[in-house]
Amino acid sequence: MELDYSKGKLRLTFIDWREERIQHSFEEVFGFKWEDAQNLSSIRDDSCYEIIGSEWLKVHIELNAITDYGAYSHYKLCFNACGVLDVLCNKQNLKDISGLK
Report the predicted TM-score, pTM, of the whole model to 2 decimal places: 0.81
Q: Which domain holds residue 12?
A: 2-96
Domain presence at residue 11: yes
Contacts 24+ apart (CB under 8 A), 6-11: 10/87, 10/89
pLDDT tens profile 2-36? 999 999 999 988 888 788 888 888 998 999 999 88
Domain presence at residue 86: yes
The DSSP output letter for 20 is: -
Domain presence at residue 101: no
| Number of structural domains the chain divides into | 1
Domain presence at residue 29: yes
pLDDT tens profile 43-84? 556 677 889 999 999 999 899 888 877 889 999 888 776 788
Q: At 50, phi and psi to the nearest 5?
A: -90, 130
- Total H helices, total E strands in the chain: 1, 8
Domain presence at residue 39: yes
**Contact in structure between 79 and 11 (CB atoms under 8 Å):** no
At 101 the pLDDT is 44
Domain presence at residue 40: yes
Domain presence at residue 82: yes
Alpha-carbon gap, residue 65 to 5, rounded angstroms: 20
